[in-house]
Amino acid sequence: MKTYRVAVLGCRSRGTAAAKAYHAHPRTEIVGLCDLVKERYDQLGDMLGVSARFDDMDKMISKTQPDIVVIPTGTEYHYELTMRALEYGVNIDVEKPMCVDLEQADDVMKKANEKGARIAVHHQGRVGSNMKAAEKAIAEGLIGEIRYIYGSGKGYYAGYGLMNIGTHTINDILNVGGHCLSVSAIGLTDGHRITPEDVIPSAGGMGTVACEHITANLQLQGNITATLLQHRFKQVDSTAYAMQIFGTEGRIYWKNTTAALLPQPHYLPDGQHDNWRPLEPIDPETFDPKSGASVEDYWYAEEFVNALDKDRDHKCSGAEALHTIEIMMGIFESAAYGNRVDLPQERRDHPLLRWRKENGLDTPAPMPRSYGEWLAAEDKRLGR
């Protein structure tokens, strides 16, 4: 069986997590590390025993001849680096979101198709152990027919949270509910419906965003609907990040770290709905918990190996990531214009920038990249 050669472009936290998974997998080999900061690639290289270290992506790809290039950089760099790497015809593993808007995502998919390369986007929860447990329960009919899905973020400022954690939540919803046909959303900032002045650059280099609070309704295939919440909390709360799947016969609660089944389809008063039972995670047969790799990242690597073996797309494919961006841009468009947005959109430009321009406003002024500093600047803008 072929061993796939992997080169990692960016050695910070997400690059380290991905590298650990590929290093632990028996059929992938880390053949090169690249970062602009020597200390980063030296630290990761020493940890994994990788001697091929670079500060130039083109040199790394040319010298190591990888099958997969991992791009776990800041979002604002995904488009440029992915397009450059695709010139070599390599397969791509890029951190989420794939790009900041639909125009960029369309270009990436066009280039990948021209080069015969596979794009995978790092939505690892979609292929993780607890998701597989949820899928198994659904396939066995334990909740009957799916009718409704609920997903929530972690309490970030909503527009930023949508482009960040929302990409994961949307992928998880799509995995069990199918593709999205239309979206409608309410977006609030400082307690009012957003205005063109509330359109701002995102923290973390994630493009243009708006809304402190987003409540979005998704029309999915097969008579299934979903609600996606991205609401700003006073403090970020990771326990809020979860998905619940409602069926005709029961419910499933899911998040990366756990999954549980409730064999009751509807709400019952306190004391009558405490029958949740855990679902057993389904781990990869070759996974070693002592490897230091996350089991979700390992499953993601396992899925990439299987996909390349069979010349098919990863379950977290570029096409699925493009559809995710369509949904996110549809949410922003619906929040701005107050209408339902059918998917896919005919117009691919960023709806929030279009909205500002239609209202006589230029591109919004720059804001800090750091989330904490960005929040402080936004609160100042709002007069708080």
pLDDT digits (tens, 9 = 90+) for 2-12: 999 999 999 99
> Among 118, 124, 113, which Cα is nearest to 72's?
124
pLDDT on residue 136? 98
- What is the topology classification, in CATH, of domain 4-124+292-316? Rossmann fold (3.40.50)
How do the domains of the chain map onto residue ranges? 4-124+292-316, 125-282+317-384
Beta bridge partners of 209: 200
Query: By the 8 A CB rule, do 176 and 225 touch?
Result: no
pLDDT on residue 264? 86
Percent of the chain's residues with pLDDT above 70: 99
pLDDT in tens, 192-246: 999 999 999 999 999 999 999 999 999 999 999 999 999 999 999 999 999 999 9
> Among 173, 171, 131, 126, which Cα is nearest to 279's?
131
Query: By the 8 A CB rule, do 260 and 252 touch?
Result: yes
pLDDT on residue 94? 98
- What is the topology classification, in CATH, of domain 125-282+317-384? Dihydrodipicolinate Reductase; domain 2 (3.30.360)
DSSP code, position 210: -
Query: By the 8 A CB rule, do 137 and 252 touch?
Result: yes
Residue 310 φ/ψ, nearest 5 degrees: -100, 5
Query: By the 8 A CB rule, do 203 and 374 touch?
Result: yes
DSSP code, position 317: B
Other beta carbons within 10 angstroms of residue 27's beta carbon come to 17
pLDDT in tens, 324-377: 999 999 999 999 999 999 999 999 999 999 999 999 999 999 999 999 999 999
pLDDT in tens, 234-279: 999 999 999 999 999 999 999 999 999 998 888 777 666 668 899 9
Average pLDDT of every residue of the chain: 96
In the predicted model, is pLDDT for residue 13 greater than 80? yes
pLDDT on residue 156? 98
pLDDT in tens, 95-138: 999 999 999 999 999 999 999 999 999 999 999 999 999 999 99
Structure tokens at 8: 């990692």
pLDDT on residue 273? 61
pLDDT in tens, 25-77: 999 999 999 999 999 999 999 999 999 999 999 999 999 999 999 999 999 99
pLDDT on residue 272? 61
Residue 239 φ/ψ, nearest 5 degrees: -70, -20
pTM of the prediction?
0.96
